[in-house]
Amino acid sequence: MQIENRSGEPVVPKLKCPVCEGSVDIPDDALEGELFEHQECGAQLELVIENGQLVLKLAEEVAEDWGE
């Protein structure tokens, strides 16, 4: 499942930061897997869909096989 619209549909609501519980602005054309840095607390967050809901979770840590 992806978030469909680049236009038309209502704007994605503000989501809650899992680290500091502050709110995070997500653009309406965001896709699953997109990274956001929460300005307030500095956390690296990843947008995911859980049970049909958009949520932010702490981004995956860099693994040994990451890169070009």
Partner 1 sequence: MIIGLAYDILRTEEKLLIDAAKRLGHSVKPIFVPKRIEWLNNTYNEEFRELGFVLERCVSHYRALSSAVILEGRGVPVVNPYRVIRDCGDKLVTTTILASKGIPVPKTVVVYNRDKAIEAARELGYPVVVKPILGSWGRFIARATNEDDLLDILDFRESMNSPHFKIHYIQQYIEKPDRDIRAFYVWGRVPVAIYRYSKRWKTNTALGGKAVKADLSEEQIELVIKSAEAVGGGVLGVDLMETKNGENLVGELNAVIEFRNTVQVTGYDLAGDVVKSTVEVFKK
Ligand X SMILES: Nc1ncnc2c1ncn2[C@@H]1O[C@H](COP(=O)(O)OP(=O)(O)OP(=O)(O)O)[C@@H](O)[C@H]1O
The residue from 15, 26, 36, 38 that contacts Zn ion (CB under 5 A) is 38
The residue from 41, 48, 49, 58 that contacts Zn ion (CB under 5 A) is 41
Calculate ∠ Cα 58-61-64, nearest 5°: 165
39-43 contact pairs (CB < 8 A, 24+): 41/17, 43/17, 43/18, 43/19
Q: Would you count residue 59 as binding Zn ion (CB under 5 A)?
A: no
Distance of closest approach, residue 23 Cβ to Zn ion, in angstroms: 9
Q: Would you count residue 63 as binding ligand X (CB under 6 A)?
A: no
